[in-house]
Amino acid sequence: MRKIIHVDCDCFYAAIEMRDDPSLAGKPLAVGGAADRRGVIATCNYEARAWGVRSAMPTGQALKLCPDLRVVKPRMDAYKAASQEIHGIFRDYTEIIEPLSLDEAYLDVSDSPHFDGSATRIAREIRRRVSQELHITVSAGVAPNKFLAKIASDWRKPNGLFVITPDQVEDFVAELPVSKLHGVGKVTADKLGRLGVVSCADLRTWNKLGLVREFGSFGERLWNLARGIDERAVQVDNRRQSVSVENTYDQDLPDLSACLQRLPELFEQLNTRMARLDASYRPDKPFVKIKFHDFSQTTLEQAGARRDLDSYELLLGAAFARGNKPVRLLGIGVRLLDLRGRHEQLELFAP
């Protein structure tokens, strides 16, 4: 039985800004791009969230919701430095760490000798040290697998700790809304709702074959998650192959012009995610992804193309022409070259 901790910093970028400038504390604060440049919100503090401000929201819309919102530019160097310090704390308790972003990671402490092997006490100590040494807060979830640990870390946010022990899994998951399951987005949740499936207890009434018929290969994963089963290991060296952002729209985008209007917002979000990468990656081919209203989809990438907004507009136009019908989902991204892997290969074959 694994012992997994999921650690998630509370409004990380905003927390660093409030720590470094205490005058910002207690006021609505967001980190993001300027409204006059079609910027978007990267993250915001809880005072801003009370006004309805959310990550990935256009800055202009956020300012309409909260006129007193203070928007500051991201300082990625400061966030990366804090992330390195946090990961240094993690490594005091385990080397089995899977970073998901600068402010989020899975830790496998199954064989950790610290605190007599108690994952709960390790998580409590990590939270205490981050607070004491970095003066920000993190939330943590402890569970027998990654799926449940991630849900647990969000259960008592902000600045919370929630533990799901093995004997609690069955009852805890039974009450869980299916919208909380890993991989279940709005479209899948709506489809499950139409089938009368709202909770995992409802989902358990379906057999595996029935779910596969309705949802393809994802149906088998739904069957497992409804029973709290997740066999994924914490990946110590899970190297990225791409970075991307995408959005499913409540109303289909009717034509190419409507799609192009949504592109600057996606482009800003992609740049924010790209800034989180370390120097061991190099951006390569840009790509776009389109899912049409009938769920058919296409992806188009181009070697040698630039990664500016004009280039993405050209790619989007070419991809849209493949279907030329209303669009439900748009995504853009960049393929990555793993420079660390190339360096290791050179060393391996050096004379």
Active site residues: 104
Across the chain, the runs of DSSP E, i.e. the strands, are 4-9, 29-32, 41-44, 70-72, 97-101, 104-108, 138-143, 161-163, 242-253, 281-292, 297-301, 327-338
**What's the CA gap between 184 and 214, in Å, rounded?**
14
Enumerate residues 6+ apart whose C-beta is below 8 A from 338.
239, 240, 241, 280, 281
Token pair for 127: 């939270």
- Contact predicate 150/130, CB 8 Å: no
**What's the CA gap between 237 and 171, in Å, rounded?**
33
Ligand-binding site membership of 278 (annotated): no
DSSP single-letter state for residue 102: T
Q: Give the CA angle between residues 145, 96, 88 to the nearest 5°.
A: 120
Ligand-binding site membership of 338 (annotated): no
Neighbours of 296 (CB within 10 A): 11
Is residue 194 helix, strand or coil?
Answer: helix
Across 97-241, the runs of DSSP E, i.e. the strands, are 97-101, 104-108, 138-143, 161-163
- Binding residues for Mg(2+) are 8, 103
Please give the annotated binding residues, written as ranges: 8, 103
